A and B are shown apart, each in its own frame.
Chain A
Amino acid sequence: MSSFLRTPLAIALLATLLTGALPGEAAAQAGTRIKYALGDVISIDELPLLVAVARSKQRGVEVEVTAFKSEEVATQAVINGQADIGQGTPYAAVQKVNVPVRFFYQMSALQFFPIVNAEFYKTWKDLDGQEIAVHTRGSGTEAIMRLMAKEHKITYKNVSFVPGSNVRALGLLKGTIKASILDASNKNYVMKEAPGKFVILPLGQVKASDEALFATQAFLDKNQAAVAIFVEELIKVNREINKDPKSILEERRKLGLLKDLPAKLEAEILPYFEEAAKGGIFPNDGGGENAAKNDLEFFQLAGALKGENLKAADFWNFAPLKAALAKVR
């Protein structure tokens, strides 16, 4: 009888001690489990997320990351309630689906590099009447290339769709693609594999989200404290990287993240984050209203968003970000 009494008592005591050790708002939602849908394979660019996930866990908010085949699948998982938070920029779905879904945090801004085979082209003007390859129809990469065509008053002969920066990188190296647009890590890969063979074309300031977080309005309302903790951790990681890109290496080692990364990719971590920090890819303030404004403009131009006078409030919920920013100064 006495041992029966002692066990629950000990558990209760331990629980009080544990939750007592956590900050107040975390205690309120300690043990919250957030199902996170990622529409991509987990690689080095996901390191800030993984660090924030590990740190949130220490504060009692467990974020369970699942990698899906594509952003569309991740979006569907959120819309249908199988996941709580999604990563990506499904502005079209948010506009059209009748379940209120809102963005609440900008993880990173778009960073793409228009790249051409130097043997054939040197400048934007050379691409007039030529064929280019972008990710998919209606994607950010297509929007950037069309935007630049407009800016430089040129027209492409044909825009072909080759999903995956890594696939286009291979195409460029093999010579089957002569002009395309790549993400940072694949641009670095191509430039390293074939030095001098490619030229990167200058890009004006394109400000839009590459990755943002979204969830249903209902989820955000119900889990304010837990979401604020997670967002807080995401902001902190970004600020650390922007201050010192090397910090991510240390965090990776300390938390034991992406342990089985091949040595070749391991060497790419620091250049990737140094370049991102220099390019201002990771916002210090989670994007917020500025990101919302830029995204609405960009995705309208990309053809993903329809209609005039789009309101940020119909796409974004700024409350979790404000709550988190109040905590991290």
Chain B
Amino acid sequence: MIASHAVWQLVSFAFFFGAWEIAGRWPVSAAFPPFSQTLLALLAMIADGSLAKAYVSTLQPLLIGIAICGIAGVGFGVGMGLSRTVEWLTLPVFIILQAAPMAAMIPLITYLYGIGLASKVLAVVFLAAPVIVMNSYKGIRNTNPSLVQMCRAFLGSRRQEVVKIVLPYAAALIFAGLRLGLAMGFIGVVIAELLITPTGIGDLITYHSSVAEYPRMFAAIASIIAVAALTLYGLERLERALFPPEIRGS
């Protein structure tokens, strides 16, 4: 069963890369390289160290942004879930942020915070925070009421109710929020690197596009997609291992 699953996965990959190769050789556009050339370009970029250097610089704003969201975002979400006043004060902000088109806000960010690391971190935060906050908030709000009632029936204090019932129950949704926040963070950091100043992966994409090294440009794009997808897949597996299905909310 597992073997056949793996075979199907391989077939699917082979089909996708095969179609890419054909599309590149046909070609759909003079600037669209076949899969084989893109793979060779990727290997060359790994070998000359340019890809590793780019990731060091791309991951910086991403990790700082996610760390800020992980602490402040979860804090806000939990606060909103537990207190109506905090909810009333902050929920609209995150709902607006969630709906705001990020690329349109980049000029605003650069006017306020310039073109350095701060702006890029902020782009990550703006995209990742709403989903992290909302998930934490919903996790707290959706705690099974019978469990809360049970805690009260045993004369549990409010503190015990939060620490022993609500937070453990919401943990799975909070974790899922962090995972989805990271997914949004990847989008934010690449948008920032393409629209603010070209650094890291954004630099590889813009530079290789400007000197018409299309295989390298596509290799950079494919690599960030692969890194994001694999990271999120890994986190999802971890989530499944950590939390039982009944509190995962699915």
Please, which residue of chain A has its CB at the minimum distance from the CB of B27?
A98
Chain B positions within 8 Å of A137 at CB level: 198, 203, 206-207, 210
> Roughly how many angstroms separate A104 CA and B210 CA in the complex, as a whole number?
20
From B31, B197, B206, A76 is in contact (CB under 8 Å) with B31
A153 interfacial contact with B, CB 8 Å: no
Knowing A97-B30, A162-B115, A167-B115 touch, does A303 contact B210 (C-beta < 8 A)?
A: no
B38 interfacial contact with A, CB 8 Å: no
Nearest-Cβ distance from residue B119 to partner chain A, whole angstroms: 11
| Complex contact B116–A176 (CB within 8 A) | yes
Interface residues of B, Cβ cutoff 8 Å to A: 29-31, 110, 114-116, 197-199, 203, 206-207, 209-214
Nearest-Cβ distance from residue A48 to partner chain B, whole angstroms: 25
Chain B positions within 8 Å of A97 at CB level: 30-31, 212
Question: What are 8 A-B contacts defined by CB distance under 8 Å?
Answer: A72-B210, A80-B30, A92-B210, A96-B212, A97-B30, A161-B198, A163-B198, A174-B114
| Complex contact A303–B203 (CB within 8 A) | no
The secondary structure that dominates the B interface is: loop
A231 interfacial contact with B, CB 8 Å: no
> Roughly how many angstroms separate A99 CA and B27 CA in the complex, as a whole number?
11
Q: A137-B198, A161-B197 are in contact. List 6 more A-B contacts (CB 8 A).
A: A80-B30, A93-B212, A99-B30, A136-B206, A137-B206, A163-B198
Nearest-Cβ distance from residue B220 to partner chain A, whole angstroms: 13
| Complex contact B110–A167 (CB within 8 A) | yes
From A92, A139, A161, A303, B212 is in contact (CB under 8 Å) with A92
Within A45-90, which residues are at the interface with B (CB < 8 Å)?
Answer: 71-72, 76, 79-80, 90
Chain B positions within 8 Å of A171 at CB level: 114-115
Chain A positions within 8 Å of B31 at CB level: 76, 79-80, 93, 97
Of the candidates B115, B199, B209, the one having the most CB atoms from chain A within 10 angstroms of its own CB is B115
Chain A positions within 8 Å of B116 at CB level: 176
Chain A positions within 8 Å of B115 at CB level: 162, 167, 171, 176
Chain B positions within 8 Å of A139 at CB level: 210
| Complex contact A92–B198 (CB within 8 A) | no
Chain B positions within 8 Å of A32 at CB level: none
From B114, B203, B209, A72 is in contact (CB under 8 Å) with B209
Knowing A76-B31, A79-B30, A160-B197 touch, does A136 contact B213 (C-beta < 8 A)?
A: no
A19 interfacial contact with B, CB 8 Å: no
From A71, A79, A176, B29 is in contact (CB under 8 Å) with A79
| Complex contact A136–B30 (CB within 8 A) | no
A95 interfacial contact with B, CB 8 Å: yes
Q: Which 8 A-B pairs have the closest CB atoms?
A: A93-B212, A92-B212, A92-B211, A96-B212, A137-B207, A99-B30, A97-B30, A79-B30
Nearest-Cβ distance from residue B4 to partner chain A, whole angstroms: 42
Chain A positions within 8 Å of B207 at CB level: 136-138
